[in-house]
């Protein structure tokens, strides 16, 4: 079946511009996560959505970062006034919360380059 998809795959933007990154989770997965991966680093948690509950925003690095999840499915991560240090791969993952598994299924990521 279809996995997690993300768009765009690559995004180059000028410093100070706003960007929107999109994530389409696996159908039926109620949990959705955003991570950031800098070059040669591990995954840094950003935000978590679970059903209709308030999102866990504890990983967002600044108020320039925000995310929405509409209708419990598609999610958009927005970065306002981008800075060069925002350059990274942004990964989305979804999880099926029934069945007791913690496995997260990852999309291919969006590579963001801020010039």
Partner 1 sequence: GESVGLHLPTLSVQEGDNSIINCAYSNSASDYFIWYKQESGKGPQFIIDIRSNMDKRQGKRVTVLLNKTVKHLSLQIAATQPGDSAVYFCAENTGANSKLTFGKGITLSVRP
What does the block give as tokens for 112?
């963001």
Q: How many CB atoms lie within 10 A of CB 108?
A: 14
95: contact with partner 1 by CB under 8 A = yes
Rg of the Cα trace of the chain? 14
Measured between its terminal Cα atoms, the distance across the chain in Å is 37
- 103 binding partner 1? (CB under 8 A): yes
Q: Is 113 in the site for partner 1 (CB under 8 A)?
A: no
Among 91, 94, 112, 114, binds partner 1 (CB under 8 A): 91
* Candidate segments 12-20, 41-49, 69-77, 79-87, binder of partner 1 by CB under 8 A: 41-49
User: Which window, 12-20, 66-74, 76-84, 89-97, contacts partner 1 (CB under 8 A)?
Assistant: 89-97
Distance CA(75)–CA(94), nearest Å, equals 11
Tell me the H-state helices in 1-115: none
Q: How far apart are CA 81 and CA 64, in angstroms?
A: 7
Nearest CB to partner 1, comparing residues 13 and 37: 37
Question: Are 23 and 84 spatial neighbours (Cβ–Cβ below 8 Å)?
Answer: no
> Judged by CB under 8 A, does residue 104 bind partner 1?
yes
* Contact flag: residue 63 with partner 1 (CB under 8 A): no
Residues near partner 1 (CB under 8 A): 4, 31, 33, 35, 40-43, 45, 48, 50, 56, 91, 93, 95, 97, 101-109
């Amino acid at each position: 079946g279809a996995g997690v998809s993300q768009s765009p795959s690559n995004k180059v933007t000028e410093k100070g511009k706003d960007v929107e990154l999109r994530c389409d989770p696996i159908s039926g997965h109620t949990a959705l996560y955003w991570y950031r991966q800098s070059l040669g680093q591990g995954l840094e948690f950003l935000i978590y959505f679970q059903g209709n509950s308030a999102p866990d925003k504890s990983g967002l690095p600044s108020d320039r970062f925000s995310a929405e999840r509409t209708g419990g499915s598609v999610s958009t991560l927005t970065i306002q006034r981008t800075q060069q240090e925002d350059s990274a791969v942004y990964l989305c993952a979804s999880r099926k919360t029934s069945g007791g598994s913690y496995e997260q299924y990852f999309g291919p990521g969006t590579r963001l380059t801020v010039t």
